[in-house]
Structure 1
Amino acid sequence: MQHKNVILAMGLGFLLAGLMAGCSPAAPCTTAICLVAHWPLNEAPGATSVADVVANPIFNQGAPKPGPVAAWPSFSGPTQVSGQVGGALYFPGNGNTWVEVPSTPDLNLSYGSLYLEAGVAPVGCGALAFYPVLDKWDQATQNGYALYLEGVSSGVVRAAFRLGNQTFFSNSFSANFNPPSSGTWAKVAVKVDGTNGAFYVNGSPAGTFTAPSGVTNNTLPLWLGALHTQPSGLFCEVALDEIKIGTINPSYSGQ
């Protein structure tokens, strides 16, 4: 009987150790950008959840709206298409189809420590068109951030970044996606470190700006593929892939 009790105690000890290991805090960030969320957007038709693969401090899972991920050419929900990396999701841009991520404290970013990145494949709708990417901007309080594309001319767009009560624009790049699989993808990023803001397109500098101070302080859900407040102009379709949100690591030494 005593031998059985020892075995039972050892088993419980191993189980407890395993549970404690599973609850261990995340490793410290050692890179220049500390990601708080990353949505690969590889979901197959029928998916009712859009996965965030970064637990920092939680997984910011999204929900496709108004219905599950759809197969091309249905728009009953975000539509699966070929992506820059694996699959991607395609949005009509009119606010009727999007991914909704509940508001969490880690998505309410400081204006001076912010990084947004997305693979984008816009259709060439021409000037005065806009293409939603991600949005957590509150028009009533002029608080938060949003990233979208703006048509410049036929087959040409630029990134637009709302931060607080200001909007900044990148240099232009191509818009020629023909869903579900042909056309040009671009990786668009915006980085704000203190008041120093910069755009990047495919890893190359694409414009700078002076950022305002502040912190996102709203309870709006984060939307992917739609905007809470639409800019002037006509909506246009866009495919999105590998969306990332992060903060700047102040202790990164570049080593």
Structure 2
Amino acid sequence: MDQHNPSIRDEALALLRGGTTNRAVAELLNVPRGTIGWWLYQDRKRRGVQYEQPTDCPLCTGRGFDRVAYAYLLGLYLGDGHIISKPKQHHLSIFCGDTWPGLIDAAESAMHKVMPLPRTGRRQKDGCVEIKSYTKHWTCLFPQHGPGKKHERPIVLTSWQQEIVDAHPWDFVRGLIHSDVCRNMNWTTRMVGGVRKRYEYPRYWFTNVSDDIRQLYTDTLDKLGIEWKHCTRAGRKYNISVARRASVALMDAHVGPKY
């Protein structure tokens, strides 16, 4: 690291202090990235500068952000997401079935729209893909994060989150549906002219163990004029059904099929 001309080192530090990335400086000056990182570390240490990871967190910086994308991402997080927050590991993970590549792209796109700076990645798991975005600031945007499973702790929206959901309810519902809902064909039988006939109809079926998350879902459906009902299966009351023709049509128009 010491074989480089001091003038090259001074030029690199000037660029770094001006905000140029390590990678860009390394490529510009033809110096290994490890060397650039070491020079930067030594420079900060000598000047007594405490390094802070750059962030574009809306709550920490006060910048505007894509609230439509956030409403959708909030629904995904409450359904199939979690945050890992450890001293050296911070990331938001959303899990999507690998049979729905469009949803995988939509989830990653929403992360970028809400906070463009953090890097993202994908990891194939058994039957699903984990989409990850790396920054500890996701805990700022999702204060529902905490120890244990979601259904074992209260899930309550903050006032600013509720304002976003109220302004973009369909996007919030779409996120919940893309994580915890299936649209299937239900059936029943009816007597028609003295003959019992099978009758099929579409239904949106939402399942979540958390009472609070189900309440957020049904409260939003109420505001949208969607008729729903609780359905108990095998003694479990974790299911919300939307089966009325007009309500299903509304859901189809504003949510659309998984893809």
The structure with the largest alpha-carbon Rg is 2
- Whichever structure has more helix as a proportion of its residues is 2
Which structure is richer in relative contact order (CA contacts within 8 A, separation 6 or more)? 1
Do the two structures share a fold, i.e. TM-score over 0.5?
Answer: no
Normalization by structure 2: what TM-score?
0.30
Higher strand fraction: Structure 1 or Structure 2? 1
